[in-house]
Amino acid sequence: MKAATLRGKPVISLAEASKLGYVNDLHLDPNELRVVALRIGSNGHGAMIPFGDIQSIGDDAVTIPNNQCSRVGGTNGTYGSLPDLERLRKLKVVDENGTYLGMVGDVEVDRKSGRIVELLVKRSLLMGMFRRWTRIPARAIRSVGPELLIVKFNEPNPTT
């Protein structure tokens, strides 16, 4: 699934049969290349849900066993310092030869494990009139920094 599709999904506690809020963002571990937590918000309050506590990610909602799975303090603590999807989408993607491939547009994530499967890299052409999308498998990611994401040479697969 595309990580961006998680945004706005309700988070439901199965034990309490209640909606805890909506997914605002997700936090990623750049070393392990996986989603580690979802940030949810409700009535001005934020919380984090560790990815391991998620029961299921469905087409319409994210379910968790009970409301004890959420951690108060959505932007602090263990997960708050890790990059979120917005920060990832600001990274420039460059290969080992120094060729600029584009910007991270989205990431494909495995629903069960949270592992990043591939990057969807977008590059604007002709002054932004056209976009070219390239799929880069996660195995090609060499390193992730504050401004750049480096991939191994010759891995991209253009899609359109």
pLDDT digits (tens, 9 = 90+) for 124-149: 766 656 778 899 999 999 999 999 99
What is the per-residue pLDDT for 132? 84
Choosing among 2.30.30.240, 3.30.70.20, 2.40.240.10, 2.40.70.10, the CATH entry for 3-84 is 2.30.30.240
Instruction: Please tell me the class of the 86-158 domain.
Output: mainly beta
Domain parsing of the chain, residue ranges: 3-84, 86-158
The residue assigned the tokens 């890299």 is 121
Sheet arrangement for strand 45-50 = 56-57, 62-64, 10-13, 18-29, 34-42, 45-50, 71-72
Sign of CA dihedral 2, 84, 90, 24: positive
Same CATH topology for 3-84 and 86-158: the answer is yes
DSSP 31: T
Residues 6+ positions from 25 with CB-CB distance below 8 Å:
7, 38, 39, 84, 85, 86
CB atoms within 10 A of CB 99: 11
**pLDDT, mean of each 10-residue run, the chain (160 residues):** 94 94 92 93 75 95 88 62 88 94 95 95 74 91 94 65
